[in-house]
Amino acid sequence: MKITRPVGVKKDGYASGGVDIEVPSQNLIIDPRGKSSIRGRSARIATGDTVTVKGTKTRKPVKATWF
C-alpha cells in the first residue's frame, strides 16, 4: 500500500512553501541613556509607527503606536 500526501505537504507533515512577509522598519533611535557611552551607542530602541485610528460612534479619532 502506497502512502500519498496532499500537494504542498512535506514528509514531516508540515506545509512547504509560504509567503515572504516584509517587516516594516520600527523607527529605531539610539538609546538616550547610552549616548554618552561608547558601548551604549549600539543599543537601539524602537519608537514604533504612529497611526490615526477611527473612533466608534461619538468617540474621536485616536493616535495609536504600533511596535
Contacts of 65 (CB under 8 A, 6+ apart): 47, 48, 49, 50, 51
pTM of structure? 0.39
Model confidence at 5, pLDDT cuts 50, 70, 90, reads: low
Q: How far apart are the first and last CA of the chain?
A: 52
Question: Is the pLDDT confidence value at 1 over 70?
Answer: no
What Å distances lie between residue 4 and 11, 20, 48, 58, CA to CA? 10, 28, 47, 57
- Is residue 15 within 8 A of residue 9, CB to CB? The reply is yes
Helix (H, G, I), strand (E, B) or coil at 20: coil
Average pLDDT score over residue span 36-50? 78
